Structures are given as structure tokens and as C-alpha cells.
Amino acid sequence: MSAGKPDTAEPLNLGSLAAPDGRFRAVEGGGAASAAGFRAAGIHAGFRRDPSRLDLGLVVSDTPAACAGVFTRNVFCAAPVIVDREHLGGCGYGTARALLVNSGTANAATGPRGLEDAYRMAALVAEGLGCPESEVMVASTGVIGVHLPMERFDTGVPQVIAALSDRGGADAARAIMTTDTHPKEAAVCFDGDSVGYPGCTFTVGGMAKGSGMIMPDMATMIACITTDAPVAAPDLHRALRATADCTFNKVTVDSDTSTNDTCILFANGAAAPGAQPFAPDGPAMQAFRQALLQVCTTLARAMAADGEGATKLVTVRVAGAASEADADAAARTIANSPLVKTAIFGHDANWGRIAAAAGRSGAAFDQGDVSIDIMGIPVCRGGLPVPFSEEEALRRFERPEIELDVHLGAGNHATAVFTCDFTHDYITINGDYRT
């Protein structure tokens, strides 16, 4: 037992999973249209009553791009998810040009008519762009069990196509919001010189939305990532799945998994025209995966921080677990515990609730080996209370980001899960969302 068990009351410092790397530069104000050869737009098409709210977003690659998707595993999956899976040929990757997203109505629990509507969304975009329907991905987000007002697409799709621009990422990010309080975008770039593509600069950018009904799998309701790097579709899919597992799938706002979760990644190679695709295990691919991780981590943290009613971004790090599954179970159970989340809202360093959540998570450990820190303050060692300054804890609770570190003393596996606190506003938002 007690592998690597910390036995002093020094802070645990379990560290971050996504350390910054000097090779990657953030693209100021970057998003889904930052990569070369991509354009985006967001307009008000009438899905929402308020004419100032954008509600139809489109991201387009100028040329056919490698495309990969990961989707909700909810049995009640929405019509657009079914259509996207079909357009990607069932394997999760293929070739595509565009992603169209409406907000306001989810097109979930809508039966055969819902499916027809989702096909029609793709057909309208395909017609406007002059590409096959199968090269158009679609997504919808909003209320479940209501049919889409299809006439809004008839007028809206030509408008949103006309509005496409390489500076349209911000509007697209706004158009896909539901209860989100602000748009979520990120982009980074890296040079190709040291990875076999001299003179090239590659960009990975994206947008996401998601605030409630958020838990893996998939955490995000909708995310769209684009890159101008030349990546073959199967490699793109592998990279997307691995990255989603440690970013979007580590976000939990309220333990509810959406019916519509969709993450689409496009790679059009526009930054290195005519170049060979990145070798699957070469340095360029490694750099691309790192850039993708940074973009997805930024978007995932933004989703957790913007959880419905949230006042804090909470990172739950679990180390010393006997297996990866145990680490995940413990971190996720702590992150989903309403008692832990309300304690954080109440600025209460109530570590007993963290211990109790770990204890019921199914993870194997001995309570006498457990250490817990709250924002770097040791509060529990060897399963027992450690005296700490309540004033110092209250002071640290003023921070916008709260870190909980738990060491189970049972092995060498670790993970981090992103969540938020549980507040009155969550109840208010969800107590009358539909009315």
C-alpha cells in the first residue's frame, strides 16, 4: 500500500496536466477561422426571438479537409449526431468542408422528421457551397423534443454563407451559445522549421459552447476545431479522441450528459500546400497534438468556468490512484458531488465532503493513506485532520480558480477533472429554462 504516499504536511503540488510549452504561441483573439483556408460566420436567423442574438453559425474550409468527429454516447442521441456519424462513414473520420450549427432547438427526440430536418440542413449548405451533402456536418443545441423551424434555414443558410469571412470566428462562437455567458475561443500556432516543414507556420484554433447538461462523454455540447496542418483523417481522429479524453471528457458541470454533444476537427493542409501529411509518429504530428491539447484544454477550462451559475473554475486533481480508472472515478465523484460544490460556493474548506466523495467513488484505497490539499493548504494527512488557518483558507477562496488535490496513496496514476461550484444561479437558470 501507500505508493508514493506524502507523509508530511507540505502542500501536495500535484501539478497541472497541460504544462505550457514555449514552442506554441497563442493567437490573439483566435478561434475557428484562425487557421489558413478557413472562414466562419454567425448570424441571427430567427431561431431565437431576440433579434440581437446570433443563432446560426457556420465554419467552412475553402477546400475539402480531413475531418474527424467524436459524439455523445447518450442513447437519446440527437438527429444531427446520427447524420454526422453517417456522413463520416461510421468510422468517425473522412472528408468534409463545413459545420453548420443552430442554437435554440436541439433537434433531439424528434424521430424521423428530425432526421429529415438534419439532412435538409446539410443539403442547404452543400447547395450553397457546391459540395456533396456528405461533406457537411451539422449540429443543433437547445431545447429537446421540439422540431426545428426549417423555414429559418431556407433564408438563413444563404445569409450565413454570404457572411463568411476569415474574421468571422467570433460571430460563429457567439451563434452557438445557449446559457453560456460568453463565447469560448482559442488558437495557437507553431513553426514547422524544427519538425520538417521549413517556412511553414501551422495554426490550430477552435470554438466551443457548453454550460449546462455537461458531463462526458462528450463534455462539450458543441466544439469545432480547425487546423491548416496537413493531417490525414485517421490520424486526425486518433488525435481528437485522445485529446477529448483528457480535456472535454474531463469537464463536468452537473453530471448530465447531453443528447447532442459533438466535437468536429477539420484539417485542410492550407499552411503547407502540396506537402505530405504529417507522419503519424513524427515530430510534426507530436507538435500538432500538443497544440491541439492546448486549444482543447483552454476551451474545456472555459466551459467549466462558465458552468451554469458558476462563480469559480474548480480543478480536481487526484494522484496516487491504483489505476487510471480509479483516478478518474475519484476525481469525477468529487467534482460531481453537490456537497463539495456547494461548500466551494460557500467558501468552506470542508474536506470531509471531499473524503466522503472519494470514499464512495469505487476507487480502491485505504483511508489511512489519504492526503488532501485545498488550494495548496494541507487539510488532511493519513486520513486525519491537519490544523490549518481558516482565515488563510477564506482568503484563498476569493480566487477565481480553486484547486483540490487528493493523493490516495494507493498507486501511481493521476488525473485532473474540471468543474465549477454549485450556486443559487444554477437553480434559477435551470428552474425556469424552458418557460
The catalytic residues are 220
> Interacting stretch for a copy of itself, rule CB under 8 A, among 2-10, 183-191, 199-207, 416-424?
416-424
Q: Which of 11, 46, 145, 149 binds a copy of itself (CB under 8 A)?
A: 145
Least distance in angstroms from the C-beta of 56 to a copy of itself:
21
What's the chain's length in residues?
435
Q: Which residue has the cell 465549477?
A: 420
Least distance in angstroms from the C-beta of 308 to a copy of itself:
9
The reply on whether position 149 binds a copy of itself by CB under 8 A is no
> Interacting stretch for a copy of itself, rule CB under 8 A, among 15-23, 288-296, 313-321, 337-345?
337-345
Residue numbers 74-93 binding a copy of itself by CB under 8 A: 74-77
Least distance in angstroms from the C-beta of 333 to a copy of itself:
9
Residue closer to a copy of itself by CB (options 64, 383) is 383
The reply on whether position 276 binds a copy of itself by CB under 8 A is no
Q: Which of 81, 106, 187, 420 binds a copy of itself (CB under 8 A)?
A: 106
Residue closer to a copy of itself by CB (options 106, 271) is 106
Residue closer to a copy of itself by CB (options 167, 424) is 424
* Site size for a copy of itself (CB under 8 A): 66
Q: Which residue has the cell 469571412?
A: 165
Residue numbers 383-412 binding a copy of itself by CB under 8 A: 383-385
The reply on whether position 357 binds a copy of itself by CB under 8 A is yes
The reply on whether position 343 binds a copy of itself by CB under 8 A is yes
Least distance in angstroms from the C-beta of 188 to a copy of itself:
32
Within 13 Å and on the Cβ side, how many CA atoms surround 30? Answer: 23
Q: Which of 95, 336, 415, 419 binds a copy of itself (CB under 8 A)?
A: 336
Site of interaction with a copy of itself (CB under 8 A)? 73-77, 106, 108-111, 143-146, 212-213, 215, 254-259, 336-339, 342-343, 345-346, 348, 350-353, 355-360, 363-368, 370, 380, 382-385, 422-424, 426-428, 430-435
